[in-house]
Chain A
Amino acid sequence: MNPIRRFWFRLGKSIRGSDLDAAMSEEMHQHVEQLTERYVRDGMSPDEALCASQRRFGGVDQIKERCRDESRLRWLENFLRDVRFAVRSLRRSPGFAIAMIAVLAIGIGATTAIVNIGRSAVFPAISYPEPDRLVVAIDGNSYDHESRTPFPFFSFPYRLAILRETAKSFAGLGGERSEPMNLVINGGPIPTTIDWVTQDFLSVLGARPLLGRIFTPSDFQGSQGDVAILDWGLWQSRFGGDPGIVGRDILLGGKVRRVVGILPRGFRVPVSFSPGDIFLPEAFSPTTAMMPFKWLEVVGRLKPGIARATAQAEMKLLRIPGPGNAYANIIESLKPLLVPLPAYYRLGKDNLFWVFLGATAFLYAIACSNAASLMLTRTVGRRRELGVRLAMGGSRWQIARLLVAEGLVLALAGGAVGLIMSWWSGSISMALFGVEAHFDWVVPAIAFGLSVLTCCIVGLAPLVRLQHARLNEVLNEGAGSLGDSRRLGRLRSCFVVLQAALAVVLLIGAGVMARSFIRLQKVDLGFDPGDKVAVSGILPDAESEKAYLRLADQMREVLSSLPGVRDATYSLMVPLTNFAASLSCKIDGRPDLGDVRFSYNRVSPQYFTTLGVPIIAGRGFDGMRAGDPPVAVINQTAAHRYFGSASPLGKRLDLDNYGKWEVIGVVGDVREMNPRNEASAQLYFPIWQPPISTGLLFELVRMNGQPGPDFESLVRRAAFEVEPRMVVHLDRLTNNAADRIQTERYTMWVLQALSALALVLATLGLFAVTAFAVAQRHREFGLRMALGAAPADLLRLVLVRGLSLASLGLVLGVAAAWGLTRFLQSVLFETSPYDPSTIIAVACLLLAVAFLACWMPALRASKVDPAMALRSE
């Protein structure tokens, strides 16, 4: 019989254990009967025969035992029996069991949740066919950025068109850009996000329509392009999931379009591309394709067998500026970089994840040592019982097995509870990372693995004790003996010190994070976001420059007249709204500088006043109008960087085709993108001054106080009346500012939560150890008192002991934190990981908490009645 069949055979016998036992007894009994009969035939009396046959047969039970050994899975049966026994004995000590399960649940639950989240963040589910053939084109410049979140973009669509036709590496290359549009249903506008996609986009991603069809090449020609594909979400929410919508017309962005298909439920554009509610086909004519600022997000599918490097080389075509193109500088500075989709998904998230994982590992370590410590206590309590077992013939191995079984039961129970806790990892993950963490089979597997690991750690702890167990002593001793329990006590003290140290590291991490966060919140943005609202409007079709400017001004007037509004201004972009634009130019009289870079913004004359940015030198654009000679205003950073201490006023910036602009003013710095990043060199020029782009419009509104709840609908209605096709979006700048520091906020929360848990566990550990030690030394304290010690002395004795443990942990923890918190450096803002005030605060917290933990046991110790203590056992 091969080993597998043998295993099944034995398993079968094990399962049917009791039946087979009965059969075995019967068999043995038969044998004895037959033997007796033989002896009777040989001449013995029945009684003698019976005696003789039984004697000859031998110890029935032992033979049966040996037979069982041969035919069943004894290890399994023993194991199950140990487990049953463990459960029974745990039921008899419910306090211990609950404490253990709670501790283990915290450790296993937190670890499982974080590992699951991290798994989804680092290995996100990509649902496209053959995802490793997909590449995303990103700007190589932004990729080197500190934050490592790249800007996925690709501008100048005609290049995409050229590339599509000439590049041989791609099986398909698709671009997508989004803009908001009003979908009119029942006469009312509903803002939706439109994804304009080029011909290949949907097929590159392997999209299959749920209903209807996806785009065909004919959709991209002429007026046949008035078709639309709906996203599943929009189809459900706005059209009630009605399949009849396919083939019907909708009014979108002022134009009638026919719905030709619905996308399936799980379909998403790649992460950080704009998710669209409706997809429209975008074909580029030579004129539209030449227009700048159609930022496309591009994803391509490599042909089978073609390496990414080959495709990358072909991308170099794009760096050649087109004919007469004003943005030659910008184009030349582009470095399109092809990044494989899976790697692209991982960008920017690594750091945070490792910080969390490290912190969670600490928590796990604390939980384990706490549990081990509890286990040890219990073993001490059972010394008598274990001693008796040893005396009755049990081997050390069997007792070890018993303890491991108990550890396993506890670990599995803790793991089960922890698993339930990590159920929530899905929703936490969404909030923290914007990543969906799926609760699939991997999560229970991780939880189970951790349980087993924990069980080994926890169950093995008491084994250390067993090595030193001497049978006689154990059986004879009373509860008050010193000797071995001192060694045990030392071990438990080690655990407490370890836990305290780990908790200290986490606390320091959390503290430093909190300080960083507070600093971030208070950073000077250069303006006050509190009373500012950004209203952005997008016109679906390119209007003429004149019409654009007229519209902008109209909007400004309308908004200024709304109740609660102090004033309004318009510009290309507004701070904290995640838009950025930059250009390079030369500075007249400074050929040594070569091409200098500016971030820029085109603003209306009221901009600086409304935003509240001080004019430090020269003047703003008040009183100027279209047709005036071109001018510019720069910020302080730019002034220092490019002009040093000399005044930049009157100097000229050479912008090639757009002429030379005179610097007429210097304004204060504004943190445009993000509170974290310092202001860059910023250039402002009047909104009527070329280069002009139409399409995107920002109105910045300064309120008197806070905007009321219906402000948004007021603005929408006003905008609708001015221009029905314009889709309007409101942002309160304080919200935006808060959004920008979301990562830091969440990091801080998680660290705070973990360190709080760690502190609780460590405190409980300290309390348990101290209380136990006091109980153990009951007799000793009685003795001391009898010999003349005062209650206060005993109190002090216990307190000092407890506090010195905590202090030792503190010192170790600070030393460890010294080495480890530098990993936090990347998420810290203007805060050193070695911040002394944090360390001092943590030290005080720990000692205070330790004091509290030791107080009660110390009080107990001081109240010992010497007479009782000496008499008791």
Chain B
Amino acid sequence: MAELLSGTLDLLVLRVLHSGPLHGFGIGERIHVLSNEALDVEEGSLYPALYRMEAKGWIEAEWGESERGRKAKLYSLTKEGRRQLEAERENWKQLAAAIRAILENA
């Protein structure tokens, strides 16, 4: 699996949560699926990241019911998180363009 910078993980989590609240396991699954199974998030990275983002105010957590009817801690985007998502998206685009430019022209 490719090495992910922690900033990138944040971006992915934010994107995934954009579609709706999910619990930790679900987020990992979704990332795995959406990336066509290229990315496999380590739990050891995921949960600290989730807690960090919660402390920063980008996501908030609530105990609710999972699809299985079980109690689960669901994370969802806050307004600030949405703003952050947009910002990170922009950043990523610019970063990707820059790297591509270097690779193609150097």
Contacts and interface: CB of A to CB of B under 8 A. Distances in A.
B55 A30 contact: no
B55 A71 contact: yes
B92 interface: no
Interface of A: 1, 5-6, 9-10, 13, 23, 26-28, 30-31, 34-35, 56-59, 62-63, 66-71
B70 A30 contact: yes
A63 B55 contact: no
A63 B57 contact: no
27 contacts: A1-B56, A1-B80, A5-B57, A6-B56, A9-B55, A13-B55, A23-B63, A26-B73, A27-B24, A27-B47, A28-B47, A30-B23, A30-B24, A57-B44, A58-B42, A58-B43, A62-B44, A63-B43, A63-B44, A66-B44, A66-B47, A66-B48, A67-B48, A67-B51, A70-B48, A70-B51, A71-B52
Contacts of B47: 27-28, 63, 66-67
A237 to B, nearest CB: 66
Contact of B25 (A5, A26, A35): A35
- Of B50, B51, B56, B80, most buried by chain A (CB within 10 Å of CB) is B51
Contacts of B73: 23, 26-27, 30
B54 interface: yes
- Of A5, A23, A28, A30, most buried by chain B (CB within 10 Å of CB) is A30
A15 to B, nearest CB: 15
Interface in B33-53: 42-44, 47-48, 50-52
Contacts of A28: 47
Contact of B72 (A30, A57, A58): A30
A31 B43 CA distance: 9
A57 to B, nearest CB: 5
A56 B41 CA distance: 11
A57 B70 CA distance: 20
A570 B26 CA distance: 109
Contacts of B57: 1, 5-6, 9
A67 B48 CA distance: 4
Nearest to B40: A56
Given A6-B55, A27-B73, A57 B43 contact: yes
Contacts of A30: 23-25, 66, 70-73
Interface string B4-39: 000000000000000000011100000000000000
Please name the 8 residue pairs, one residue from A and one from B, whose CB atoms are nearest each other, closest first. A1-B57, A70-B52, A66-B48, A70-B51, A67-B51, A71-B51, A34-B25, A58-B44
A34 B50 CA distance: 18
A10 to B, nearest CB: 6
Contacts of A59: 44
A31 B24 contact: yes
Nearest to A58: B44
Interface string B79-97: 0100000000000000000
A62 B45 CA distance: 11
A76 to B, nearest CB: 14
- Of A6, A13, A35, A70, most buried by chain B (CB within 10 Å of CB) is A70
A236 B57 CA distance: 64
Contacts of B25: 30-31, 34-35
A26 B73 CA distance: 9
Interface residues of B, number: 22
Contacts of B80: 1
Contacts of B43: 31, 56-58, 63
Interface of B: 23-25, 42-44, 47-48, 50-52, 54-57, 63, 66, 70-73, 80
B70 to A, nearest CB: 7
- Of A31, A35, A69, most buried by chain B (CB within 10 Å of CB) is A31
A31 B50 CA distance: 14
B2 to A, nearest CB: 18
Contacts of A26: 71, 73
Contacts of B56: 1, 6
- Of A27, A58, A67, most buried by chain B (CB within 10 Å of CB) is A27
A59 B72 CA distance: 21
B85 to A, nearest CB: 15
Given A30-B24, A30-B70, A30-B72, 14 more contacts: A1-B56, A23-B73, A27-B72, A30-B25, A30-B66, A34-B25, A35-B25, A56-B43, A57-B44, A58-B43, A63-B47, A67-B51, A69-B48, A70-B52
Nearest to A6: B55
Nearest to B68: A34
A334 to B, nearest CB: 75
Given A30-B25, A56-B43, A10 B51 contact: no
A36 to B, nearest CB: 11
Nearest to B23: A30
A418 B72 CA distance: 54
A71 B66 CA distance: 24
B24 to A, nearest CB: 6
A9 B58 CA distance: 13
A62 B48 CA distance: 10
Contacts of B42: 58
B39 to A, nearest CB: 15
A160 to B, nearest CB: 71
B44 A71 contact: no
A69 B44 CA distance: 13
A232 to B, nearest CB: 59
B105 to A, nearest CB: 40
Nearest to A64: B47
A24 to B, nearest CB: 9
Given A56-B43, A58-B44, A62-B44, A10 B23 contact: no
A35 B80 CA distance: 31
A56 B45 CA distance: 12
A74 to B, nearest CB: 12
B23 A71 contact: no
A59 B50 CA distance: 17
Nearest to B80: A1
Contacts of B52: 70-71
Contacts of B23: 27, 30-31
Nearest to A62: B44
A28 B24 CA distance: 9
B34 to A, nearest CB: 17
A35 B40 CA distance: 13
Contacts of B50: 67
Nearest to B42: A58
A31 B73 CA distance: 10
Contacts of A35: 25
A26 B63 CA distance: 11
B41 to A, nearest CB: 11
Contacts of A69: 48
- Of A26, A62, A63, most buried by chain B (CB within 10 Å of CB) is A63
Nearest to B44: A58
B13 to A, nearest CB: 13
A804 to B, nearest CB: 60
A35 B71 CA distance: 16
Contacts of A62: 44
Nearest to A59: B44
A84 B25 CA distance: 37
Contacts of A31: 23-25, 43
Contacts of A34: 25
Nearest to A1: B57
Contacts of B24: 27, 30-31
A27 B70 CA distance: 11
B54 A71 contact: yes
Contacts of A68: 51
A68 B52 CA distance: 9
A225 B51 CA distance: 83
Contacts of A1: 56-57, 80
A10 B56 CA distance: 10
A730 B71 CA distance: 92
A70 B6 CA distance: 13
Contacts of B51: 67-68, 70-71
A6 B53 CA distance: 11
